[in-house]
Amino acid sequence: MDTSNPAAFVNAELLRMYVGRRVRAVIQVLRNDGGSIFGKSTDEQELVVKGHPPNPPTTFVEVIGIADSNRSIQAEIWTNFGDNFDVSSYNTICQLANGDFKHLFI
Amino acid sequence: MMFESSQFDSTPSFVSSQTADPSPSSAKTRDAQPMHPVTVKQIVEASSSDGDKSNFLIDGVSVYNVKLVGMVFDKTARVTDVSFVIDDGTGRIGCKRWVNDAQDTQEVEELTDGIYVRVHGHLSSYKGNKEIVLYAIRPVKDYNEIAYHFIECAHAHCSNTKLQKNGSVTLASSTATTPNNGQQAISSSQVSQDYSMDGLGSIGKLVLDYLQLPTSSAKEEGIHRNEIAQKLKISQEKIIEAMESLESEGLVYSTIDECHYKPVSA
């Protein structure tokens, strides 16, 4: 039982608030060079995710890792989220989890 | 959302595991209890009520059964049970699944560290640590289920806290100062009682009482609000106001037109 190391739901807009801290985001993969992924956040901005992406990644991947700048994440855990994903629901969760319902999350 | 709840709530394994649970004493309690969608953080912050170690308060509501969606870590398989930690991004909590038959075995064999699962179980306390004793574990196949689960958590939190704000004044003020602290020894049935009795204005209460009179509730078309105004000697504006608030609280509904009302419970 432990809440000391949460991973905040973020989109690109929210990422900047968590630099140096643990986050989770879903990225639509645009380009994959094997060492990092360039993709689109759920609020449709470009992000870089560093680490070892799954091979092959699906259209959408979830990353859990440390926000290392307001445009990039150092990934620890990658999960393929498939090719069909409701980006807007996930983006809504990012907003709720950092807004009115923050106390349920972090 | 595109989900049908049946997709998640009624698999054969869930049904069979209910009957196979080795703790018959809890089976009855469990059947009568709703399944609460929660985050790990809510569980960690939940207080146990009245020293009963299987009864916890979340948002002031007594919670026994919970459902969560998160990632599996530290899976440990033993002969009679499998335990692991579930991490939903808000925190981590230990889970235990008793293994009784082949179907249970199959269910836990699918588990590997790092996969997303939806779990159903009941809250328990073991050596001062909360844990979840699971009835069912299902790997998440459609990842929209994650957002869906957290939206469900937010919704449940809203309805439970709204219930309290509309409840008695003392309850509302005590939760306002300590929002995450469910110390008030209040069961959900007490909350709903407060909700229906004390949350109304005095006019609302009079109106509701009038509507609930046997002579009133016998009328199929309900009671015209002018009649209520006349009988209670209260101005029509105030009655209209009271009717609106009663209606929005879900305590009355309009019948043949928007002037006739019946109480939801007579």
DSSP B211-253: HHSHHHHT-TT-EEHHHHHHHHT--HHHHHHHHHHHHHTTSEE
Closest CA of chain A from B44, distance in Å = 7
Q: How long a stretch of residues is chain B?
A: 266
pTM above 0.80, yes or no: no
* Closest in B93, B144, B151 to A85, CB measured: B144
Candidates A37, A18, A5; CA nearest to A94 is A18
Instruction: Read off the tokens for A34.
Output: 């094997």
Percent of chain A exceeding pLDDT 70 equals 100
Q: How far is Cα A48 from Cα A71, in angstroms, rounded to an integer?
A: 6
> Which chain B residues are within 8 Å of A101, Cβ to Cβ?
153-154, 157
B interface toward A at CB cutoff 8 Å? 1-2, 39-44, 71, 89-94, 114, 116, 129-131, 142-144, 146-148, 150-151, 153-154, 157, 179-180
Q: How far is Cα A16 from Cα B94, in angstroms, rounded to an integer?
A: 32
Closest CA of chain B from A78, distance in Å = 9
What is the chain B residue with the closest CA to A62?
A: B143
B115 CB contacts (<8 Å, ≥6 apart)? B71, B72, B139, B140
Checking DSSP bridges between strand B56-58 and strand A36-40, what pairing results, if any? unpaired
DSSP A47: E
Count of Cβ atoms closer than 10 Å to residue B27 Cβ: 12
Pick from A54-58, A90-94, B77-81, B126-130: least confident:
B126-130
> Which chain A residues are within 8 Å of B114, Cβ to Cβ?
77, 79
Does the distance separating the beta carbons of A106 and B90 come in below 8 Å? yes
Q: How far is Cα B44 from Cα B51, in angstroms, rounded to an integer?
A: 16
What is A8-99's CATH number?
A: 2.40.50.140
A36 membership: H or E segment, kind and range: strand A36-40
List, run by run, the mean pLDDT of 10-residue segments along chain B (266 residues). Answer: 46 41 47 88 85 77 94 95 97 96 91 97 89 95 97 95 65 39 41 44 84 83 87 86 85 86 81
Which of the two residues, A26 and B218, has the higher pLDDT score? Answer: A26
CA dihedral of residues A80, A93, B142, A57 (deg, nearest 10): -10
Does the distance separating the beta carbons of A2 and B44 come in below 8 Å? yes
